Amino acid sequence: MARRENPEINAGSMADIAFLLLIFFLVTTTMNVDSGVSKKLAEKPPEDYVPPIIKEKNIFEVNINRNNELLVEGERMEIEDLKEAAIAFIDNGGGIGKVEEGVATGPCTYCKGERSESSSDHPNKAIISVQSDRLTEYGMYLTVQDQLLRAYSELRNRLSMEKYEIPFVELEEAYKDDKDNEILKQRVERIKTSYPQIISDAEPTN
């Protein structure tokens, strides 16, 4: 009796299927994206540049120690209270604005703050200084930056609603969709100038 041989299996199609599955998983798998802070680095000043004299009351000091504890103006603060504290400082309006083309911009007419003499003079003079430790967790640093950006966003949205009856976020999006619109451009620039985002990163401590 003749011996029956086992039929061979064509593995060519299986290789094609495996390749297609590999492509499918590569396309559909989501990749983790590291979070970060978008910032524009300052240009190198000229050699004859003389830094302006800044009043201490116009600087809002935010410190993060190596234990991820938040110190604002030398006092302990919870992260959820940082935004309101930053808004109170930026929007204080206790004096006159910086000098532009030889003329002071005058007092802040749109500020809603307490106008305390011990806090910032004007939003265009208010500087937020953030200093962290080299052992501070990056996540904590990002959270602090996020709260500060939220403070500026809230102030800009409020002023935009008062002037143009539209949140600044929507106003900015409208301008992005219509770059040739001079009216939108002027409105966006006016809001940004009213509340310039001035956040400085100090050298980390050891």
Does 143 reside within a domain?
A: yes
Does 3 reside within a domain?
A: no
Q: What torsion do the CA atoms of 99, 104, 110, 113 make, to the nearest 10 degrees? A: 80
DSSP annotation string for 99-154:
EETTEE--B-SS--S---TTS-S-TTT-EEEEEEBTTS-HHHHHHHHHHHHHHHHH
Domain that holds residue 121: 59-153+197-201
Does 176 reside within a domain?
A: no
Does 101 reside within a domain?
A: yes
Does 67 reside within a domain?
A: yes
Give the span between the Cα atoms of 160 and 194, in whole angstroms.
10
Does 95 reside within a domain?
A: yes
Other Cβ atoms closer than 10 A to 137: 14
Q: Report the mean per-residue pLDDT for the chain.
A: 86
Nearest in space to 116 (alpha carbons), one of 98, 78, 141, 90: 90
Domain count, the chain: 1
Q: Is the pTM of this model over 0.85?
A: no
Nearest in space to 99 (alpha carbons), one of 46, 60, 53, 59: 53
Please give the C-alpha separations between residue 64 and each of 7, 36, 61, 197, in angstroms, as whole numbers.
Answer: 72, 17, 10, 20
Q: What is the pLDDT of residues 20-56, one digit of tens each?
A: 888 887 788 776 655 556 666 566 667 776 777 889 9
pLDDT in tens, the chain (206 residues): 555 556 665 555 677 778 788 888 778 877 665 555 666 656 666 777 677 788 999 999 999 999 999 999 989 999 999 999 999 999 999 999 887 765 667 899 999 999 999 999 999 999 999 999 999 999 999 999 999 999 999 999 999 999 999 999 999 999 999 989 999 999 999 999 999 999 998 888 87
Counting DSSP H helices and E strands in the chain, the numbers are 5, 7
Does 111 reside within a domain?
A: yes
Does 66 reside within a domain?
A: yes
Q: What is the pLDDT of residue 27?
A: 81
